[in-house]
Amino acid sequence: MVVGLSHRTASLEVLERAAFDAAAAERVVETLDASPHVEEVFVLSTCNRVELYCEVSRFHGGVADVGDALCRRIGLGLDELGEQLYVHYEDAGVEHLFRVACGLDSMAVGESQILGQLRVALRDLQERGLGGGALDRLLQNALRVGKRAHAETGLDAAGAGLVDAAMARATAVVGELAGRRALVVGAGAMSALVATTLSRVGMDVVVANRTPERAQRLAAAVGGRAVGLDDLRAEVAAADLVASCTGAIGHVLDVATVAAALLDRPERPIFLADLALPRDVHPDVATLRGAHLVDLEGLGADLAGSAVADDLRAVRAIVSEEVAGHAASLRAADVAPTVVALRTQARHVVEAEMRRLAGRVQLDDTVRAEVDLTVHRIVEKILHTPTVRMKELARESGGAGYAAALRALFDLEIGSTGPVTLPGDAPLSGTVAEAVGRVS
């Protein structure tokens, strides 16, 4: 199960309050380790997301405990966070992590920095003695899926493809870009890609960001100039191309700001590219005379049928394939105790019968060894096909029933196997408020 919040659901202020450093992550892990519902946990905290991944014994209890830990970290109640906290469970949780590992859920689509953060999470998990557990296997699979997506597709070019599409539209509006001014709002990975690309084609780049230090670093890297968000109106008025990707909740550029900027440049059109999710630029800006706005949906339409669109479809197909493979491997692992129990029972029967034979018939050591080997071979041959077939069938959806049938037929006594049962009223994905509300 994953419980978290990201740039897609939460305000920047909440994300900043939720961010975990190493000490905070250690404290929340210690808290959840003491929970009777949480068996394993790791924290994934980046500038755009805070997520807790857990192996839980009970769905509702796990949601409540993990949600409470996040709320206490943020300093807000569940009622205040509302829809900002989400929960994904079982296959939906696996799919979410695999999408994150591939960069499909990032502000800069296809970015690979997340793989480094997942490696840190895996190392921390193993240092806590949880190597080989459910989350260890999940993280290792996520890393492999992320690497596969980058190696087998052109995912690395996805962000560049969006920028190229935006530049093509901008050229149609304002003409040749070289020598013109660009305003880049934001200083994250996508903004860095935009600023670098626009600088290379000869544009004069200005970077505006809420945090001055980040704006200055990016501006210095592209030979541009940094400004604060307080200067947006003047900088929009001076720019020919505005590209925004801040990750903020709410519109960074509203209709009033752009309209006021257009008053200072009545004869010159301005092109605005909104590369953010949620959107940075109010959609009604497109109704202003002289303003030409395109967002990710529009750029995606430009890329439909292109190599970038094909690559994104290929990555999504990889994720779907790997989620199914992970689920199949878990189902196969779930039958292992049944196989072990069956073979153990067969061994005990053979040993008992050999002791019985030794008490009734005098056999020399050579004959006894040969009889013992023969009986074991017979048992192995009888058990081989059903156990192999059961493992194969268990990889299919609903395959756990075959192991249950075998346990019933042979009266096998083993501990609890298989994943946590999903409550009938609990969805695979949703908000934490919805999940906790079902309990109350």
Q: Which pLDDT tens digit goes with each residue over 352-407? A: 888 888 888 888 889 888 998 998 889 888 888 877 877 777 767 666 677 777 77
Q: Strand runs (DSSP E) across 277-420, as ranges?
A: 291-295
Cα–Cα distance, 299 to 158 (Å, whole number): 12
Beta strands in 246-350 (DSSP E): 270-274, 291-295
What are the DSSP calls for 72-86, one per residue? HHHT--HHHHGGG-E
Tens-digit pLDDT profile for residues 19-56: 888 888 889 999 999 999 999 999 998 867 899 999 99
> Which tokens belong to 233?
């109106």
At residue 266, the pLDDT reads 84
Q: What is the pLDDT of residue 440?
A: 38
- Catalytic site residue from 47, 71, 102, 245: 47
Residue 289: what pLDDT?
A: 94
Tokens of 270: 């301005």
Which residue, 207, 167, 216, is CA-closest to 183? 207
Half-sphere exposure of 174 (CA within 13 A, CB side): 25
pLDDT of amino acid 253: 95
Q: What's the rounded mean pLDDT across residues 263-283?
A: 89
Question: What are 422-435's pLDDT values in tens digits?
Answer: 555 556 777 776 76
Separation of alpha carbons 338 and 394, rounded Å: 11
How sure is the predictor about 10, in pLDDT bands with cuts at 50, 70 and 90?
confident
Out of 3.20.20.70, 2.30.130.30, 3.20.20.210, 3.40.50.720, select the CATH number for domain 157-304.
Answer: 3.40.50.720
Domain residue ranges of the chain, discontinuous segments joined by + = 2-156+425-439, 157-304, 336-410
Taking the domain 2-156+425-439, which CATH number applies?
A: 3.30.460.30
Residue 268 pLDDT greater than 60, yes or no: yes
**Using 50, 70 and 90 to split pLDDT, how confident is the model at 83?**
confident
| pLDDT of 305 | 64
203, amino acid identity:
M
Percent of the chain scoring above 90 in pLDDT: 42
pLDDT (tens digit per residue) in 211-255: 889 999 999 999 999 999 999 999 999 999 999 988 776 789 999
Q: Identify whether the C-beta of residue 338 lies closer than 8 Å to the C-beta of residue 414.
A: yes
Q: What is the pLDDT of residue 404?
A: 77
Decide: 417 and 390 in contact? Cβ < 8 Å. Answer: no
pLDDT at residue 12 is higher than 90 = no
pLDDT at residue 92 greater than cutoff 80: yes
Question: Is pLDDT of 419 > 50?
Answer: no
Active site (annotated) includes residue 47: yes
For the sheet with 241-244, list strands across it: 225-227, 204-208, 181-185, 241-244, 270-274, 291-295
Distances (CA, A) of 284 to 188, 221, 293, 297: 25, 33, 9, 15
Share of the chain above pLDDT 70, in %: 90
Contact partners, residue 41, CB within 8 Å, separation at least 6:
28, 29, 32, 33, 52, 53, 54, 55, 66, 135
Say if 2-156+425-439 and 157-304 have the same CATH topology.
no
Q: How many CA atoms, within 13 angstroms, populate the side-chain half-sphere of residue 321?
A: 11
211, 187 contact by CB (below 8 A) = yes
pLDDT in tens, 299-324: 877 776 666 778 888 999 999 999 98
Q: How crowded is the C-beta side of 43, counted as CA atoms within 13 Å?
A: 24
Q: Residue 176, class by beta-carbon neighbours within 10 Å (0-12 exposed, 13-18 middle, 19+ buried)? A: exposed
Residue 189, both tokens: 């990975």
